[in-house]
Structure 1
Amino acid sequence: METALKHARTEFFVQQKRNQVTAMQRVALQVVAGIDLDEIVKATEEIKQRTRRRLLRLIERERLKGVRGHWSYDLNRHIALKQAFDRIC
């Protein structure tokens, strides 16, 4: 009984953390790129391709900022864009 309860508790916290990460990614993508992840997931393949190309351009621009040491480079933005791209693919 206790093991089942501990297992259920662990699963609950894992799922809660997963939901938190997903919510953070959705907000970050909306703020950084103006893209709603829910709409993209439901969108046609053409729109998904267009979004992937847009994200690739944004990732490349962010990468170049980092390489050049630009003051506006943000590692968190770079990571958020890459995670969003991986999620859409």
Structure 2
Amino acid sequence: MNDIHAEYRAFRERQHAQATNARQMAALHLVCGIDLQVALAAGPELKAKFTLRLERALERERLRGMRRHWSYDLNRHIALKQALDRLHGRDTVAGDGKVTGKPRFRRCANAKRRPKAPSESR
């Protein structure tokens, strides 16, 4: 029974990694015209050029979001940021689907929610 659960978990992780990779590749190709696999395999000089183009595209997307422009897309913004992280070598999802880094936003164990509003008793 544990084998089935382990296989299912591994399948879901691989599926998540493939979806993340596809999202990043599509966003990078559509916005910057860069193939992610080529950029990852490029030499340091070419990788620096790709990084500059990607940083500028990410900045434009951020500004679009700040202005609440109709063409802003949060998913595209996230995919560009993840692609930039991969290009810098800060990969959070490995090729086998395992998460290698810590989640960026984590609630503290002792964090408390704000208190409830006082109820009106008549």
**TM-score bin (small chain):** 0.7 to 0.9
Query: What is the Cα deviation at residue 17 of structure 1?
Result: 1.9
**Between 41-50 and 63-72, the greater mean CA deviation after superposition:** 63-72
Query: What is the Cα deviation at residue 69 of structure 1?
Result: 2.7
**Between 22-31 and 37-46, the greater mean CA deviation after superposition:** 22-31
| 1:6/1:26 CA distance change after superposition, 3 Å | same
Q: How well do the aligned residues superpose, as a CA RMSD in angstroms?
A: 1.5
Structure 2 CA distance for aligned equivalents of residues 5 and 70 of structure 1: 47
| 1:24/1:73 CA distance change after superposition, 3 Å | closer
| 1:68/1:16 CA distance change after superposition, 3 Å | closer
Larger radius of gyration, structure 1 or 2? 2
CA offsets per residue over residues 22-69 of structure 1, 9 Å max, x none?
A: 122212211122110010111100111111111111111121222223
**Runs (4+) off by over 6 Å:** none
Higher helix share: 1
Structure 1 CA distance for aligned equivalents of residues 24 and 6 of structure 2: 27
| 1:23/1:69 CA distance change after superposition, 3 Å | closer
Question: Which residue is equivalent to 2:19?
Answer: 20
- SS of the equivalent of 2:37 reads helix
Question: Which residue is equivalent to 1:35?
Answer: 34
Counterpart of 1:54, as a letter, is R
Matches within 5 A, 1:66-77: 66-77=65-76
Structure 1 CA distance for aligned equivalents of residues 7 and 83 of structure 2: 30
Structure 1 position 44 matched with structure 2 position 43: yes
Structure 1 position 4 matched with structure 2 position 3: yes
Query: What is the Cα deviation at residue 84 of structure 1?
Result: 1.0
**Between 23-32 and 42-51, the greater mean CA deviation after superposition:** 23-32
- Matched residue count: 88
Normalised TM-score (structure 2): 0.64
